[in-house]
């Protein structure tokens, strides 16, 4: 099997506006994520908000098995037309990784159908992501019962999302909150993984365990080459039944 191709999308705003962020991600969060995924054997490309069509042209998406999405300050600058395009691809089988503050992205809210609200706090506090389902491929290769991050933004329950099909990580925060931090969904023919960590002012995406999870999630979210495509719409009966009834208003 050829390696899946990952398109790493980033709004790429904070890295240009904030020295704190630029120090951690001089070439952007997307560059660090893309490098990590390449080291794990994926083909990668990046795309950012300020490119034409946000870098998410039909051609780019045609060549994307999994799209990762990081956004925070500029959710409302993402063109609705592009959001719709991405959504169609997800429902058609493209994988989607929704990262950290992208819980409030248009694409995630549209796929979830809820507000995706939560509690939050920036206090560089400790987070511990406990593994809930050891048999899920997304936690493969993790050495401990949890991933510990010394500095994290807190996200706390209630997280206003539909209950995930599989809850993979469950987070503890120093300040007293918990959060469903790794959530797997199916939407249409596509798979969606929400992964909580990733605040821009802490070096989260440099963490090897976080990179391992991202790589695992890309592998999980990519559609298999032979994934079936369901058919929809008006259908003739398969069995031999009487179809002479003509009471129809269609």
Structural contact between residues 49 and 74, judged by C-beta atoms closer than 8 angstroms? yes
Query: Using a CB cutoff of 8 Å and minimum separation of 24, what contacts does 128-133 make?
Result: 128/171, 128/172, 129/169, 129/170, 129/171, 129/181, 129/182, 129/196, 129/197, 130/169, 130/170, 130/171, 130/172, 131/168, 131/169, 132/167, 132/168, 132/169, 132/170, 132/182, 133/166, 133/167, 133/168
Q: Which of the residues 10 through 39 are near its own copies (CB under 8 A)?
A: 14, 17-18, 20-21
Taking the complex as a whole, the smallest distance from the CB of residue 3 to its own copies amounts, in Å, to 14
Taking the complex as a whole, the smallest distance from the CB of residue 32 to its own copies amounts, in Å, to 17
Taking the complex as a whole, the smallest distance from the CB of residue 38 to its own copies amounts, in Å, to 20
Tell me: does residue 190 bind its own copies (CB under 8 A).
yes
Tell me: does residue 203 bind its own copies (CB under 8 A).
no
Taking the complex as a whole, the smallest distance from the CB of residue 171 to its own copies amounts, in Å, to 7
DSSP for 175-229, please give it: TS-EEEEEEEEEETTEEEEEE----TTTTGGG-HHHHHHHHHHHHHHSPPTT---
Among residues 26, 79, 176, 208, which is the contact residue for its own copies, using CB under 8 A? 176
- Strand runs (DSSP E) across 66-218, as ranges? 66-70, 95-99, 119-131, 146-156, 166-173, 178-187, 190-195
Tell me: does residue 135 bind its own copies (CB under 8 A).
yes
Of 52 and 249, CB closest to its own copies: 249
Of 4-12, 33-41, 54-62, 219-227, the segment contacting its own copies by CB under 8 A is 219-227
Taking the complex as a whole, the smallest distance from the CB of residue 46 to its own copies amounts, in Å, to 21
Q: Which of the residues 103 through 122 are near its own copies (CB under 8 A)?
A: 110-115, 117-122
Taking the complex as a whole, the smallest distance from the CB of residue 52 to its own copies amounts, in Å, to 26
Tell me: does residue 228 bind its own copies (CB under 8 A).
yes
Tell me: does residue 241 bind its own copies (CB under 8 A).
yes
Tell me: does residue 171 bind its own copies (CB under 8 A).
yes
């Amino acid at each position: 099997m050829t390696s899946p191709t990952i398109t790493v999308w980033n709004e790429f705003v904070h890295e240009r506006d904030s020295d704190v962020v630029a120090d951690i991600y001089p070439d952007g969060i997307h560059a660090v994520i893309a490098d990590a995924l390449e080291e794990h054997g994926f083909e990668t490309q990046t795309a950012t908000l300020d490119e034409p069509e946000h870098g998410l042209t039909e051609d780019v998406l045609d060549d994307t098995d999994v799209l990762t999405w990081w956004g925070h300050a500029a959710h409302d600058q993402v063109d609705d037309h592009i959001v719709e395009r991405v959504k169609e691809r997800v429902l058609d089988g493209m994988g989607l990784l929704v990262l950290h503050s992208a819980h409030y992205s248009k694409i995630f809210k549209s796929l979830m159908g809820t507000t995706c609200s939560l509690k939050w706090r920036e206090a560089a506090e400790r987070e511990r992501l406990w593994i809930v389902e050891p048999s899920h491929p997304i936690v493969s290769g993790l050495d401990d019962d949890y991933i510990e991050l010394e500095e994290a933004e807190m996200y706390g329950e209630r997280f206003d999302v539909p209950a995930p099909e599989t809850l993979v990580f469950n987070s503890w925060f120093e300040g007293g909150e918990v959060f469903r931090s790794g959530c797997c969904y199916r939407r249409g023919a596509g798979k969606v993984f929400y992964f909580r960590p990733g605040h821009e002012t802490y070096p989260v995406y440099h963490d090897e365990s976080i990179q391992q999870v991202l790589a695992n999630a890309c592998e999980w979210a990519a559609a298999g080459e032979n994934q079936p495509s369901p058919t929809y719409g008006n259908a003739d009966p398969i069995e031999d039944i009487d179809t002479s009834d003509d009471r129809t208003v269609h």
